[in-house]
Amino acid sequence: MSYVEVAGAKVPIRLWTDPASVDDGAMRQLQNTATLPWIKGLAVMPDVHYGKGATVGSVIAMQGAVCPAAVGVDIGCGMSAVKTSLTANDLPGDLSRLRSKIEQAIPVGRGLHREMVDPGRLYQFPTAGFDKLWAGFDTVADPVKFRRERAEKQLGTLGAGNHLIEVCLDESGAVWLMLHSGSRNVGKELADYHIGIAQKLPHNQGLVDRDLAVFLSDTPQMAAYRNDLYWAQEYAKYNREVMMALLQEVMRREFRKAKVTFEGVISCHHNYVAEERYEGMDLLVTRKGAIRAGSGDLGIIPGSMGTSSYIVKGLGNEAAFNSASHGAGRLMSRSAAKRHFTVRDLEEQTRGVECRKDAGVLDEIPGAYKPIEQVMEQQRDLVEVVAKLKQVVNVKG
């Protein structure tokens, strides 16, 4: 579908979904965002749902301003995927051992490594920027600096919630590896710290929603936030790179006889800020639950723990600020999902997938998410499908 335009604010709201399908809370957030004095455009992806301040699944283009709550608290969260030389015929009938080995190699939930992962021991790991990453830590906000040891040990860990590690098959039977994670606790602490500062600034006192507080260009507060923001985005990128390297090591050990090899890794943020130019203006584009989908850009759009995911190529639709959805999007809140579904429902909806099937992940049940096929249909003018994947192993925290 092409977008539907909703007028009535400083800028029109362009929705790649039926406006009637957007719940009242999320629609209010979109309308509030569209009133910001600095906004130049708002594109809404088909996976849109209620968030903190700004909806998840929104692309906010502003001139001279950034809203830290619109970036999200998991700064730099995103996806990585890689195609392997393995096929479905190489996989054992019982995948429980493989899931166990992955969980042993990569801490999940609140877990962390006993010691920071040494990138020098990871097979062909690009270590060139690693020292620069940790040198940059010394420049981040003072309240977070004492967290360095934890940040080091969390690098290469999964986290909880909708974060995942999966072994998937494409429609030709090729095996893919896919994972989803972000900047872990250090990114959240940086986000919370700066959101608190933004809310106290004089120019934000008249906003319709204090969670939409912004930093303005050429101010010390903006400079400090952008320093920490870009550092956290790099940390999130390295977190996924280390995890992918550890995951590949597991596959090499488990499929030694097959001599597994890997193609190039596809990686994309979906909670971040980028400096981009549209209609002759230099803008700060915030994607909160959205990926960049410029012409030819490769991206990843996951479903849920029991449904398909997609490797996509961007079509470069500037009306959407060269963006696409970051996933299926939640249909109901975590608490509502726990009330509505049972463990038996989870078992049924993840049939054929080697994964957790207990009350601890009930809020991640496929039924709590929008149908991924519908989401993909609604953004046919944003991306084209390169590969359709279906998981056979799913790891969650």
DSSP 22: S
Question: Was 165 annotated as part of a binding site?
Answer: yes
C-beta of residue 170 within 8 angstroms of C-beta of residue 240: no
What average pLDDT score do residues 111-132 get? 89
DSSP 150: H
Q: What ranges do the domains of the chain cover? A: 4-331+369-396
- CA angle at 194 for the pair 22 and 278, rounded to the nearest 5°: 55
Q: What tokens were used for 234?
A: 């790099």
Question: Was 113 annotated as part of a binding site?
Answer: no
CA distance from start to end of the chain: 35
Residue-level pLDDT at 397: 86
Question: Was 271 annotated as part of a binding site?
Answer: yes
Would you place residue 1 in the very low, low, confident or very high pLDDT band (cuts 50, 70, 90)? low
What average pLDDT score do residues 232-259 get? 96
> pLDDT of 13-53, one tens digit each?
999 999 999 999 999 999 999 999 999 999 999 999 999 88
What average pLDDT score do residues 86-97 get? 98
> pLDDT of 324-358, one tens digit each?
999 999 999 999 999 999 999 999 999 999 999 99
Q: Which residue has better confidence, 324 or 1?
A: 324
> pLDDT of 296-315, one tens digit each?
999 999 999 999 999 999 99
282: left (phi over 0), alpha (psi -120 to 50) or beta: beta
CATH 3.30.565.10 holds for 4-331+369-396: no
**95 residue type, one letter:** L
Distance CA 198, CA 90 (A): 53
Would you place residue 145 in the very low, low, confident or very high pLDDT band (cuts 50, 70, 90)? confident
For residue 37, which of 206, 150, 249 has the smallest C-alpha distance? 206
Q: How many Cα atoms occupy the beta-carbon half-sphere of 2 within 13 Å?
A: 4
C-beta of residue 61 within 8 angstroms of C-beta of residue 13: no
Beta-bridge partners for 148? none
Cβ neighbours for 341, distance < 8 A, ≥ 6 positions apart:
362, 365, 367, 368
Residue-level pLDDT at 57: 97
What average pLDDT score do residues 360-389 get? 97
Helix (H/G/I), strand (E/B), else coil: 40 = strand
Q: Judge whether 49 counts as a catalytic residue.
A: no
Question: Was 30 annotated as part of a binding site?
Answer: no
Instruction: Count each helix (H run) and each strand (E run) in the chain, helices first.
Output: 11, 17
For residue 379, which of 20, 41, 47 has the smallest C-alpha distance? 47
DSSP 290: E
- Sign of the CA dihedral with 52 first, then 72, 328, and 275 last: positive
The residue count of the chain comes to: 397
Question: Was 163 annotated as part of a binding site?
Answer: yes
Distance CA 221, CA 138 (A): 17
Would you place residue 272 in the very low, low, confident or very high pLDDT band (cuts 50, 70, 90)? very high
Distance CA 36, CA 39 (A): 6
pTM: 0.95
Question: Was 180 annotated as part of a binding site?
Answer: yes
Distance CA 14, CA 5 (A): 5
Residue-level pLDDT at 327: 97
> pLDDT of 155-171, one tens digit each?
999 999 999 999 999 99
Distance CA 134, CA 137 (A): 5
Question: Was 49 annotated as part of a binding site?
Answer: no
Residue-level pLDDT at 129: 81
Would you place residue 9 in the very low, low, confident or very high pLDDT band (cuts 50, 70, 90)? confident
Given the residues 194, 269, 326, 340, the one annotated as active site? 326
Q: Tell how strand 383-395 and strand 308-314 pair up.
A: antiparallel
Report, in angstroms and rounded to the nearest whole number, the Rg of the chain calculated over CA atoms: 20
Distance CA 349, CA 335 (A): 18
Q: Which residue has better confidence, 133 or 7?
A: 133
Q: What percent of the chain has pLDDT above 70?
A: 100
Report CA-CA distances (Å) from 195 to 71, 171, 190. Answer: 10, 44, 9
Q: What is the mean pLDDT of the chain?
A: 96
